[in-house]
Structure 1
Amino acid sequence: MRKRWRAALIAAAAGAVVVLAVALPLFQPWRLFTDKVVDEALPSAVPISTNSSSTTPPTISGAPSSHRPTAPEILLTGKLITHEHETSGTVAVLRLPDGSRILRLENLDTSDGPDLKVWLSDAPVIVGKNGWHVFDDGRYRSLGGLKGNHGSQNYPIPKEVRLDDFQSVAIWCDRFNVSFGAAELKST
């Protein structure tokens, strides 16, 4: 009888080790207690080289300055709402003076998680649990991995991406196919 208990105990311990070996890397529960803060500056409006021995201030050649924007232009904006995890902050799609576009997350505050991505999506933003899983149902474009779960960060939008094809931004957990939070994009 004692040998059976010992064999059962050993089998249970071996089973627990196997479950933990699979579950820990998959769920990464320690991320509930970790944070990564990223505070990127807004890309500069006009790059100017200061590597010169001249005492004359630098000038920018080309089109007249009245026709060239010197600050980013706000194309779309939105406010993040909570889905699977408490999430807040704002999003903006900006056109930089050089014509490139970025998605900017400002004052982001969400949970850390495994395999988080920043997505543009054609899905509507739905409040509550019904909105958690909609962002991969249609068209979406990943702008890359989330750099940090707190702070302000920039994500380049490739030239070929048509903004008219998308109406929302999602902080998407690719591992569990769920939105941590999302924002509807609106024209300014």
Structure 2
Amino acid sequence: MGRLRRALVRPWAAGLPAVAVAGAGFGLYWFQPWTLWQDETVQEALPAPSAPAPAAPDPDTPGSSAPASPAIVARGELISHEHATSGTVKLLRLGDGSHVVRLARLDTSNGPDLRVWLTDAPVKEGRAGWHVFDDGRYVSLGKLKGNKGSQNYTVPEDVDPASFRSLTIWCDRFDVSFGAAELTPT
């Protein structure tokens, strides 16, 4: 009887390490825990005016002027959700009428599959705000370029930025907000 029991247990015991290694490999791929300790700093310049203009105003030509700087349409301060997050968000209108979202002094954790989203959801503090941003309308402005620094994200031409009231740093893999800002019109 003991010999039969050992014969039945042996194949199961031999397969257990293979299952453990496969599970650990999947867990490392899915969670990517090393990204929490890797910072990516991006320092992009403020977008330049898009409309061509003379280098200096010409007093003899009516209506000529130096290039206008981007106009701030809305702004907000990032609050923390799943991870400690801080920084300033500005929605800018460029001289040609296009829009850009500027994240300034961003400081958040790195993570897998982070995105920048404009959303119509209200910003809620604490755990109540972690999962609200994919419940309504949102538009992805692309992958987060870096978890630190200042960076710009172009708003697609067919998107009306006035129809969105918040911005989130969204982890698409785990459907959770790292941080968000309520956009207040200026």
What's the counterpart of residue 34 of structure 1? 38
In structure 2, the residue matched to 1:171 is 169
How many residues are treated as equivalent by the alignment? 180
What fraction of aligned residue pairs are identical, expressed as a percent? 55
Which of 96, 99, 102 is matched with 2:100 structurally? 102
Q: Secondary structure at the match of 1:30?
A: helix
Structure 1 residues 38-84: Cα deviation after superposition (integer angstroms, max 9, x where no partner): 000011236779xxxxxxx9668998235x76111000000000000
**Cα distance, 1:79–1:128 mapped onto 2, change above 3 Å:** same
Look up the SS of the partner of 1:106 in the other structure.
Answer: strand
CA distance, structure 2, for counterparts of residue 32 and residue 95 of structure 1: 34
Amino acid at match of 1:64: G
Partner of 1:54: none
* Match in the other structure for 1:119: 117
User: What SS does the aligned partner of 2:34 have?
Assistant: helix
CA positional deviation for 1:129: 0.2
TM-score, reference length from structure 1:
0.86
Determine the structure 1 residue equivalent to 2:184. Answer: 186
Q: Which amino acid aligns with 1:33?
A: W
Tell me which residue corresponds to 1:53: none
Partner of 2:157 in structure 1? 159
Aligned-pair distance for 1:164? 2.5
What amino acid sits opposite 2:141 in the alignment?
A: L
- In structure 1, the gaps of 5 or more residues are 50-56
Counterpart of 1:13 (choices 17, 33, 40) is 17
Q: Name the SS of the counterpart of 1:19 in structure 2.
A: helix
Matches for 1:29-108 after TM superposition, within 5 Å:
29-45=33-49, 64-66=63-65, 70-108=68-106
Question: TM (normalized to structure 2)?
Answer: 0.87
After superposition, the C-alpha distances for 1:65-115 in whole angstroms (9 at most, x for unaligned) are 35x761110000000000000100000000112221100000000011111
> How much has 1:163 moved relative to structure 2?
1.9
1:165 partner letter: S
